[in-house]
Every structure is written in structure tokens, then in C-alpha cells.
Amino acid sequence: MRIKYKNNKLGKQLANASSIKMNFGINAKRISIRLADIESSPTLAVLIQIRAANCHPLGGDRKGEWAVDVSGNFRMIFELDHDPLPQTNDGSIDVSSITDIRIVEIGDYH
């Protein structure tokens, strides 16, 4: 999938291994793995199948956002970057057509 970032600061923090290490310390390796999982998945449907990523939609005040696990309560939170969102006949999101996301945050939202 193609990745965009909420802002330039986040994009720079995730630009390469050294900046990930500098900004996220002990979580750097897992963040790099999750970024690789996202980049290697052609669609959201494929990312959902990666058990270690635990890709899932969020609810409540974070409805419309998704997350993948980094470690413990630490998550990489993203939005689906499609307008309009592709939908199935029953009105749910067509995850097999989602190819673009925007990472909005990395942290503990719990």
C-alpha cells in the first residue's frame, strides 16, 4: 500500500531507520516491521491477514481510524486515504480495494 503522513514532522520521523530509532527508541524495530508490513501489502485486506500486525478498525471517538500493533498498548494509527471510500454491496468498507493510507499517530491511545 501507499503511505502518506498526517504531517511533515511524522513523515520525517519515519523516513529511515536512523530517524525511527532516534524518535521511537525501543519501539523502532517493531515500527520498522509494521511499516514494511504495510508497504508490502497491496491492499488492506492483505494487511488484515498478517496476525502479528493485528490490523483493526477503531471505534468510539476514533471511529474512521484503524490501527496496527507495535507493542503492548503502543499502536500505529492510520486513516484510509480514499475519497470516496470503496464500499461493498452491503455498505461496508471494501478492504480489498483500499490501497492508500495516511498514518496519523504512533503511540498509546488507551
Which domain, by its residues, includes 82?
2-108
| Alpha-carbon distances, residue 33 vs 40, 53, 92 (angstroms) | 10, 9, 28
Distant-in-sequence, close-in-space partners of 39: CB < 8 Å, separation ≥ 6: 1, 3
Overall number of domains in the chain: 1
Question: What are the backbone dihedrals phi and psi of residue 88, each rounded to the nearest 5 degrees, phi first?
Answer: -85, 175
Tell me which H or E stretch contains 104. strand 100-108
In the chain, the amino acid numbered 27 is N
Q: Encode pLDDT of 28-87 as tens digits.
A: 999 999 999 999 999 999 999 999 999 999 999 999 999 999 998 899 999 999 999 999
Full-prediction pTM beyond 0.75? yes
Residue located via cell numbers 468510539: 60
Tell me the CATH number at 42: 3.30.2310.20
What is the mean predicted confidence (pLDDT) over 6-30? 97
